[in-house]
Structure 1
Amino acid sequence: MTEEIAIIQIGNPILRQQAQTIENISSPTVQKLISDLMTIMLESNGVGIAAPQIGQPYRLLIVASRPNFRYPHAPEMSPTPMVNPRIVNHSQEIIKGWEGCLSVPGVRGFVPRYQWIEVEYFNPMGQLQKQIFTDFVARIFQHEYDHFEGLVFLDRLESNLDIISEQEYQKMITNVSES
């Protein structure tokens, strides 16, 4: 089934649309969307994904931090689907870190984000959850949340000098890991 679903690439106007609130979390359509997002994210070796990235303009995202070749030092967490999430509080401290996006292949950016955020969301069973995310996991959430507002990480950059290719990023993290 996932072979029919493609990750939308930058330039597609769907990525620039506002996402809609999900009204019926338990509907088969929403539950299938959660399942499809999970599959596509794992197949793409992503650490997060939002529904607009597969052409579905809904407020649904998944955060799934884990070490991989792009983020070798990422903390491990279970993939967490979040329906209609919102940020209810955040740190004053802003930290810059490297990000990429499944919808913006081959490019990395050094993006400023809140160091911690407090979020509320509904889980796939429709239960309200409240969590505080810090550091890399907070970065993933904020990155995916931006897709609801029609933003990609490039929109958050302070300077074009904060952009590098995936190839240069890989060289950089390999050199850091070896030192």
Structure 2
Amino acid sequence: MPDIEIHYDIATGGDLDAHYARGESRPITVVGNPVLHEPCADVTDFGDDLARLVSDMFVSMRTARGVGLAANQIGVPLRVFVYLCPESYDRADDEVWHAGHVVNPVVEVTGGATGAHAEGCLSVPGAQAVLPRAAHVTVRGFDLAGNPVAVPGRDLLARCFQHETDHLGGRLYIDHLTPEARETALGEMSEPAYPVVTNPVAADGSTRP
């Protein structure tokens, strides 16, 4: 990723360089892994383990070149996500990107506008589908110290907040699609360019729902 100007969202951003120095990259879970399909537990311990998890998530997101990552995407069933994401869909070269984390997030829709844009997911590598999402939201939750936070987002950033919060509820973006569109997306999956967790094999030989 080229050099970008980063806006650290109030109380949730911190120093990405410090996260990158402290964290370790972990493989990404993909559709069919049970951890992606069950609701995650609320975070109750705002200690060192949570701080290390968030650092690992930032590093893992960088490795996979994502704009957001939920904890269960690296196999940890806790309600926390990280993001490094612009607001506009065209990702202009001079655009400010937003960085942060939210613990125990809840998304509040703050406007009536919606947008139908292509959406993808590190846990469904290579596939995309057009999905309507609210264009203006605020995500509320907590920072690493347990302080309450509220982060507004629009357009792509709003989509990111909704997408990652869905993950923590055990839903992938493909779960919002019609059965036909979901099967099409699954059929478009390709070999990821980042490490992934090998899914358990079901009795019928399948590795994804």
Which TM-score tier does this pair reach, normalised by the shorter chain?
0.7 to 0.9
Higher mean Cα deviation, 82-91 or 45-54?
82-91
Matched residue pairs, number?
162
| Structure-1 residue corresponding to 2:27 | 6
- Whether the 8 Å contact between 1:8 and 1:55 is mirrored in structure 2 is yes
Partner deviation per Cα, 1:93-121 (whole Å, 9 max, x = no partner): 32111111111101011111111112212
| Structure-2 residue corresponding to 1:20 | 41
CA distance in 2, matches of 1:59, 1:90: 22
Describe how 1:65-76 pairs up with structure 2 within 5 A. 65-66=85-86, 73=91, 75-76=95-96
CA pair 39-98 structure 1, distance change in 2 beyond 3 A: same
- Whether the 8 Å contact between 2:139 and 2:161 is mirrored in structure 1 is no
| Structure-1 residue corresponding to 2:149 | 129
| Structure-2 residue corresponding to 1:107 | 127
- Whether the 8 Å contact between 1:112 and 1:157 is mirrored in structure 2 is no
Higher mean Cα deviation, 6-15 or 86-95?
86-95
Flag structure 2 segments of 5+ consecutive residues without an equivalent.
Answer: 1-22, 191-209
Query: Which structure 1 residue ranges, 4+ long, deviate > 3 Å from structure 2?
Result: 161-167
Q: Does 1:83 align with 2:75?
A: no
Q: Does 1:42 align with 2:62?
A: yes
Flag structure 1 segments of 5+ consecutive residues without an equivalent.
Answer: 168-179
Higher helix share: 1
Partner deviation per Cα, 1:33-92 (whole Å, 9 max, x = no partner): 00000100011111000001011111100121149xxx6526532321111111234333
CA pair 115-160 structure 1, distance change in 2 beyond 3 A: same
TM-score of the superposed pair, with normalisation by structure 1: 0.80
Alpha-carbon offset, residue 154 of structure 1: 0.7
| Structure-2 residue corresponding to 1:150 | 170
TM-score of the superposed pair, with normalisation by structure 2: 0.69
- Whether the 8 Å contact between 2:107 and 2:165 is mirrored in structure 1 is no
CA pair 72-117 structure 1, distance change in 2 beyond 3 A: closer
Q: Percent identity?
A: 30
Aligned-residue CA RMSD (Å) = 2.5
1:65 match: secondary structure: strand
